[in-house]
Amino acid sequence: GATTCAQRGAEAFRAAIECAAHAARQGALATFGIVPSAAETGYGYILRGRRELPGAAGCYAVERFVEKPDRATAETFVKDNAYSWNSGMFLFQPKRYLEELREFRPLIAEHCQRAFNAAYRDLDFYRLDEASFAACPSESTDYAVMEHTRNAAVVPVDIGWNDVGSWSALWSVMAGDEDGNVLRGDVYTDAVRDSLIRAESRLVAVLGLQDVVVVETKDAVLVAHKDQVQHVKKIVGELGRQQRTEHLTHRLVYRPWGSYEAIDMGNRFQVKRITVSPGGKLSLQMHHHRAEHWVVVSGTARIVCGDEEKLLTENESTYIPVGVTHRLENPGKLPLHLIEVQSGSYLGEDDIVRLDDIYQRK
């Protein structure tokens, strides 16, 4: 049954980890190759060499890495048991990887070292230096190191693996209804088959379609054929070129003190729902371009506005003028919920001057 298959996969994976760990102790950079079950064109492939590493039965030197193939090429790979899917899972000693990184991508290694050296603690977070990290070239482990090192090794495994790297892959691993549909949230369907439909914040109705993916969130809505969902990254690239922000900032944003969610915005105004955790305290701050109105929905708020300090409870409100120093704190035992209405000529999150912050944010 399914449980037996899962157990076999787990046992095979444990054995593969032990094999890869043995190779890693000898200085190898090991990866796990998945025995192909189909001519998959969405994965890269690994061609293993003929020889097993000494003392590591089942672990082979890598002959070469292969980019995502077309259908015909993938079919030849599946027939040749020397090829496996590139899972993107690695096992190696950090010291060995850094040695290889410094040899093949010294600029990446340099920026990572700088980011680490200038890092600082923020509560239970360890924040890398943003400027150094942002300046670091972006490149995958495969491209930067694995395709160049002379010490790459691969352990072929058959463990029932799926990287769930796309919405169609998620559909394939989730239990569907009698029509093959995976439905989540407030969804209505009619004459729909073999599709994934996910609604997070409103009713989604789909009629007369097959093999589609529909994903609705507060940030955006995706509608695609299951064969096309691998191209979502093109959308992200286009959003960047258009200088949009959907791929960078979600409507619900978490902060050390709680969270805020954008509800509405227009010309010279923005409305947010703010949640402050018990004991949470926003920074002592001021804004150059916006005023703020706060309405407490539930909980208790301690508010500093200029030289005045006051407590507000449910259904009470206050006004923060432009340029006035202010702070919001939850002194109670329950979460504080309030509605914030911003108005002004500029409403960007970077219009903030922090004068004091218990979370040590810059």
Residues 219 and 81 grouped into a single domain = no
Indicate whether 208 belongs to any domain: yes
Residues 212 and 256 grouped into a single domain = no
pLDDT computed for residue 9 by the predictor: 82
The Cα 195–Cα 171 span in angstroms is 7
Residues 38 and 147 grouped into a single domain = yes
pLDDT computed for residue 3 by the predictor: 56
CATH number, domain of 329, equals 2.60.120.10
Q: What range defines the domain where residue 19 resides?
A: 2-106+141-157
pLDDT computed for residue 123 by the predictor: 65
- Token pair 């096309």 is found at 228
pLDDT computed for residue 65 by the predictor: 95
Residues 89 and 187 grouped into a single domain = no
Indicate whether 111 belongs to any domain: no
Residues 148 and 43 grouped into a single domain = yes
pLDDT computed for residue 362 by the predictor: 65
Which pair of structure tokens corresponds to residue 53? 């590493």
Reading phi first (left if > 0) and then psi (alpha if -120 to 50, else beta), residue 191 is in left
Query: Domain end: 175, 202, 232, which one?
Result: 232
Indicate whether 113 belongs to any domain: no
DSSP string, 174-205: S---TTS-EEESSEEEES-BS-EEEESSS-EE
Q: Which of 274, 266, 269 is nearest to 343 (CA)?
A: 269
Distance set, CA 195 to CA 218, 228, 241 (Å): 21, 13, 31
Residues 265 and 228 grouped into a single domain = no
Residues 146 and 175 grouped into a single domain = no
- Token pair 């619900």 is found at 252
Distance set, CA 188 to CA 191, 193, 198 (Å): 10, 13, 11
Reading phi first (left if > 0) and then psi (alpha if -120 to 50, else beta), residue 268 is in left
Residues 150 and 173 grouped into a single domain = no
Indicate whether 70 belongs to any domain: yes
Q: Which of 159, 24, 22, 163 is nearest to 91 (CA)?
A: 24
Q: Which of 186, 152, 28, 153 is nearest to 92 (CA)?
A: 28
Indicate whether 136 belongs to any domain: no
The total of structural domains in the chain comes to 3
> Which of helix, strand or coil describes residue 299?
coil
Indicate whether 16 belongs to any domain: yes
The Cα 126–Cα 103 span in angstroms is 27
Question: Average pLDDT of each block of 10 consecutive residues along the chain (362 residues)?
Answer: 69 93 95 91 91 86 94 93 94 97 97 94 81 94 95 93 80 91 97 97 96 93 91 86 82 92 94 97 96 98 97 97 97 97 94 89 68
CATH number, domain of 25, equals 3.90.550.10
Indicate whether 120 belongs to any domain: no
pLDDT computed for residue 41 by the predictor: 85
Indicate whether 127 belongs to any domain: no
Query: Across the beta sheet with 317-320, what order do the strands follow?
Result: 252-255, 258-266, 269-276, 336-344, 290-298, 317-320
Residues 184 and 285 grouped into a single domain = no
The Cα 191–Cα 282 span in angstroms is 50
Query: Domain end: 122, 157, 192, which one?
Result: 157
Residues 281 and 348 grouped into a single domain = yes
Q: Which of 213, 215, 207, 212 is nearest to 185 (CA)?
A: 215
> Which of helix, strand or coil describes residue 112?
helix
Residues 153 and 43 grouped into a single domain = yes
Which pair of structure tokens corresponds to residue 66? 């292969």
Vertex 154, ends 150 and 158: CA angle to 5°? 170
Residues 71 and 209 grouped into a single domain = no
pLDDT computed for residue 4 by the predictor: 66
Q: How far apart are the first and last CA of the chain?
A: 55
